[in-house]
């Protein structure tokens, strides 16, 4: 039986704010600005799965340019020096950090998977057995960035039973 979980946009915004201050924009010069635009394009995706009393995914998605900027900030290097491997490593770490913070809001017993990173358009990344339940959609220096939560449809069906 699944538990009823509410992690909303405000919770995700708080997590994102902590990530930005800690890793991506410690000087507060360029924060993530929420837009609420769920339809914004994304070219890269990093996700972690959560299993246990609540089952689903936490997804960090952005444009390639935002991902390159994040990798440069995270690794303290110029964005022109960021390799594809750096991009994948940092996106995976960001998904892991965000996912770990979200997991802390969930019931005890939830487990976090290793991150998966896809450097491809949104159409290449699907969660066929999951439904988006919450999301933070914004821009960072004019580039789209989002953090979303996807709950297993099996969990959703159990809740209504």
11, 105 in Cβ contact below 8 A?
yes
The total of other beta-carbon atoms located within 10 Å of residue 156's CB is: 15
pLDDT of residue 122: 64
Predicted confidence band at 125 (pLDDT cuts at 50, 70, 90)? low
Q: Are 88 and 117 in contact (CB under 8 A)?
A: yes
Q: pLDDT at position 50, please? A: 95
What is this structure's pTM?
0.89
Task: Work out the mean pLDDT of the chain and round it to a whole number.
Answer: 89
Question: For a pLDDT cut of 70, what percent of the chain falls above it?
Answer: 89
- Cα separation, 154 vs 10, whole angstroms: 25
* Average pLDDT of the segment spanning 39-59: 93
Distance CA 76, CA 43 (A): 23
* DSSP-assigned beta bridge partners for residue 132: 150
- Within 10 angstroms of residue 43's Cβ, the number of other Cβ atoms is 19
pLDDT band at 161 (very low <50, low <70, confident <90, very high): very low
Which domains can be identified in the chain, with CATH numbers?
Answer: 9-21+40-160 (3.40.1550.10)
Among 6-20, 56-70, 86-100, 145-159, the minimum mean pLDDT is found in 145-159
């Amino acid at each position: 039986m699944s538990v009823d979980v509410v992690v909303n946009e405000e919770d995700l915004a708080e997590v994102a704010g902590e990530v930005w201050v800690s890793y991506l924009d410690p000087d507060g010069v360029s924060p993530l600005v929420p837009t609420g635009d769920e339809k914004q394009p994304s070219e890269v995706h990093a996700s972690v799965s959560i299993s246990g009393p609540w089952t689903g995914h936490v997804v960090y998605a952005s444009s390639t340019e935002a991902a390159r900027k994040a990798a440069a900030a995270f690794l303290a290097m110029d964005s022109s020096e960021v390799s594809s491997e750096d991009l994948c490593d940092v996106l995976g770490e960001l998904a892991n950090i965000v996912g770990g913070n979200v997991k802390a809001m969930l019931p005890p017993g939830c487990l976090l998977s290793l991150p998966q990173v896809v450097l491809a358009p949104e159409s290449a990344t699907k969660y066929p057995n999951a439904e988006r339940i919450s999301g933070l959609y914004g821009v960072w220096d004019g580039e789209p960035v989002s953090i979303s939560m996807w709950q297993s449809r099996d969990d959703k069906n159990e809740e209504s039973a």
